[in-house]
Amino acid sequence: MSDVPAIGISFRQTIDESAREIVLQCHISSDCTDEQLNTLLDKLSSAADRQKAKTHLPTEKNLLDEARESLDRERNNYLLLQAERDLMISNFQREAESNGRRKPFMGGQNKQKLDHLNGKIGQSEQSIKVLEKRISSSENIVAAMEAKVSFGAEA
Stretch 67-75: mean pLDDT, rounded? 98
Strand partners, 54: none
pLDDT tens per residue across span 25-42? 999 999 999 999 999 999
Q: What is the pLDDT of residue 101?
A: 78
Contacts of 70 (CB under 8 A, 6+ apart): 131
Q: Which amino acid is at 45?
A: S
Cα distance between residue 120 and residue 139, in whole Å:
28
Q: List Cβ neighbours of 90 (8 Å cut-off, separation of 6 or more).
A: none
Which tens digits make up the pLDDT trace of 127-144? 999 999 999 999 999 999
Q: How far apart are CA 76 and CA 124, in angstroms?
A: 10
